[in-house]
């Protein structure tokens, strides 16, 4: 028998959970299908920098109860290079906005708890195998066998490789993308932060980055050759290379500790246009994959979820689908602006590889960008406005 829900949501990440919470708070029945276990989605470490608009959405809808207590305001970033460093207090630039630092997996746990408290339904361990956008139907398999659920609308929040994105026929969508040919080794260390600021180190051997996650956990990034394996990067080599690229001889040692997670992040960008088809709407990574260079992924997802929730409420309660009709057009403008800034950050941070005739030219361009960011107040205001949010 086909189960029914007014809105079917595929995926229990920030996109699906914010959307679900906003809908159930207005009495709209939802069902979230999530392929992983609850423990897994609540413990998977991800980025945790939330911009001003994301913080506003969470606060306005009563979803920031723990973030407001445990989140830390963050307003500075430092750029290191071979000749020195400079720090930008971006909270005093642009629109005067700051980030809130709060681990994403903890936000996911908060959102799940609140969604269930508000009466929402969620099915963990449900692998979606097929999506029919015309009827807002999702077919899935779980421990009890195969089943399906149909709604008035369906929201695909299951990432760039989920079933929702593939439900838009090739004849109805354009996939635009770029492989940057750059790989970052993302490392999570049980170590206190080595600097009070986010630190970007510009080095000819490759980018290195330092981003605090909590008082005792720090995220580091290292640009590595695209054909390297994780086994090629034991702990000792990671800390040695971080020391070189972050210029510890000049700026002091790093706080070290056990490395509890490492993964290779391939910098790729991909966008579906349009991000709606029939009764289905794509949200978050399902709509657009973006590199982590500017911490835009979760923030875009939250903004898209808010817009879609309001549009669905208008359609279901006021019989007005005009906002839904413009969902793709409105959100793609934001997505492309975030993509443009992310690409600018990649060009600034990543060291050109190889020994081709243009490598020296590209390195000189990168240094010119860095000098402009250091010296130009107008450039700093532009950076701050785009860095914190779209």
Torsion sign (Cα): 112, 113, 118, 122: positive
Question: For residue 384, what pLDDT band results from cuts at 50, 70 and 90?
Answer: very high
pLDDT digits (tens, 9 = 90+) for 312-326: 999 999 999 999 999
pLDDT reading at 216 higher than 90: no
Instruction: Concatenate the DSSP letters of all residues of 13-50 into one string.
Output: SHHHHHHHHHHHTTT--EEEEESS-HHHHTT-----EE
Q: CA angle at residue 75 from 66 to 103, to 5 degrees?
A: 35
pLDDT digits (tens, 9 = 90+) for 279-329: 999 999 999 999 888 889 999 999 999 999 999 999 999 999 999 999 999
Question: For residue 1, what pLDDT band results from cuts at 50, 70 and 90?
Answer: low
First to last CA, the chain: 43
Where exactly are the structural domains of the chain?
A: 3-72+101-177+268-343, 179-267+356-388
pLDDT value, residue 205: 93
Beta bridge partners of 281: 155, 276
pLDDT digits (tens, 9 = 90+) for 18-54: 999 999 999 999 999 999 999 999 987 677 889 999 9
Residues designated as active site: 74, 200, 292, 296, 387
Instruction: Give backbone dihedrals phi and psi of 93, rounded to 5 degrees, phi first.
Output: -120, 170
Pick 3-72+101-177+268-343's CATH classification: 3.10.129.10, 3.30.420.590, 3.50.50.60, 3.40.50.620. Answer: 3.50.50.60
pLDDT value, residue 44: 78
Domain topology for 179-267+356-388: D-Amino Acid Oxidase; Chain A, domain 2 (3.30.9)
Cα dist from 47 to 24, 211, 263, whole Å = 27, 9, 13
Instruction: Give backbone dihedrals phi and psi of 139, rounded to 5 degrees, phi first.
Output: -105, 135
Full-model pTM: 0.94
pLDDT value, residue 324: 97
pLDDT digits (tens, 9 = 90+) for 90-120: 999 999 999 999 989 999 999 999 999 999 9
């Amino acid at each position: 028998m086909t189960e029914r829900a007014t809105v079917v949501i595929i995926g229990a990440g920030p996109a699906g959970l914010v959307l679900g919470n906003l809908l159930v708070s207005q009495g709209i029945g939802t069902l979230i299908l999530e392929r992983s276990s609850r423990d897994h989605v609540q413990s998977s470490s991800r980025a945790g920098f939330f911009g001003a608009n994301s913080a506003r959405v969470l606060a306005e809808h009563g979803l920031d109860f723990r973030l407001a207590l445990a989140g830390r305001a963050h307003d500075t970033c430092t750029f290191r290079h071979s000749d020195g460093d400079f720090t930008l207090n971006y909270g005093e630039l642009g629109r005067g906005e700051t980030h809130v630092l709060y681990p994403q997996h903890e936000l996911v746990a908060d959102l799940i708890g609140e969604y269930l408290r508000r009466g929402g339904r969620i099915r963990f361990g449900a692998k979606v195998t097929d999506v029919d956008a015309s009827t807002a139907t999702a077919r899935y398999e779980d421990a009890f066998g195969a089943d399906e659920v149909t709604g008035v609308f369906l929201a695909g929040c299951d990432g760039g490789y989920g079933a929702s994105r593939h439900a838009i026929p090739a004849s109805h969508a354009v996939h635009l993308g770029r492989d940057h040919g750059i790989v970052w080794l993302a490392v999570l260390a049980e170590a206190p932060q080595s600097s009070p600021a986010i630190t970007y180190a510009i080095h000819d051997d490759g980018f290195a980055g330092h981003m605090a996650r909590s008082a005792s956990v720090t995220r580091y990034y290292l640009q590595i050759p695209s054909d390297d394996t994780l086994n090629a990067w034991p702990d000792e080599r990671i800390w040695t290379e971080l020391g070189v690229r972050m210029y510890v001889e000049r700026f002091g040692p790093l706080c070290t500790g056990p490395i509890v997670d490492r993964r290779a992040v391939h910098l790729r960008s991909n966008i579906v246009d349009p991000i709606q088809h029939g009764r289905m709407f794509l949200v978050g990574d399902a709509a657009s994959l973006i590199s982590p260079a500017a911490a835009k992924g979760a923030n875009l997802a939250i903004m898209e979820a808010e817009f879609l929730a309001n549009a669905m409420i208008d359609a279901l309660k006021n019989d007005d689908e005009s906002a839904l009709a413009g969902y793709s057009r409105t959100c793609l403008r934001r997505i492309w602006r975030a993509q443009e800034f992310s690409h600018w950050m990649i060009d600034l941070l990543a060291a050109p590889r190889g020994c081709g005739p243009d490598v020296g030219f590209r390195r000189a361009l990168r240094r010119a960008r860095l000098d402009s960011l250091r010296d130009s107040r107008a450039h700093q205001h532009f950076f701050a406005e785009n860095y914190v949010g779209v």
